[in-house]
Amino acid sequence: MIKPFSFHLKKELKNHLLDYLLLITAGIFFLILLNIFRGQRIIEFIVLVSFALFYIIWGVYHHIINETLHLKTVVEYILIAFIIIFLLKIIILP
């Protein structure tokens, strides 16, 4: 039987529940801060960079406790974080 996407997603979230809860909490906090500082472009950008840095740290922490940390993994988190920062900089701080 083919298991749906949601099955695999739930399984992954369940296996690392606390880690993902931490990431989701940070994400919600990021949205709340953006809402508070809406229109203040420099602060919005600082909030975005902070969230991206948190995401890199989260990635490193998550892979350390799962004993799967590898340089390639860290580079992947850094690359994704900075792609997003540069893309959003065009919108927030052109």
Partner 1 sequence: MERVKNFIHHLFIPHEENNFRAKSLHTDFLTVYLVIAFLMTIIFKQANLHNVLGFATDISVDKLYQLINEQRQKNNLPSLSLNSSLSLAAQKKAENMFQENYWSHYAPDGKTPWDFILGANYKYEYAGENLAKNFLFSNGVVDAWMNSSTHRENILKKEYTEVGYAIVNGTLNGEQTTLVIQMFGTPLASSFVSQPVQANKTIQNIPIENKPQQVLAKKTYQPKINAFNFSFNLNIVFMAFLLVALALDFYFASKFNIIRIGGKNTAHFLFIIFVLAGLFLSTIGTII
Residues that bind partner 1 (CB under 8 A): 2-3, 5, 8-9, 11-13, 16, 20, 23-24, 27, 30-31, 34-35, 38-41, 44, 48, 51-52, 55, 58-59, 62-63, 68, 70, 72-73, 75-77, 79-84, 86-94
Question: Which residue has tokens 């892979």?
Answer: 63
Of 18 and 72, CB closest to partner 1: 72
Smallest separation (angstroms) from partner 1 to the CB of 63: 8
Residue type, 81: A
Residue type, 61: Y
- Compute the half-sphere exposure of residue 36: CA atoms within 13 Å on the CB side of its CA: 8
Residue type, 19: D
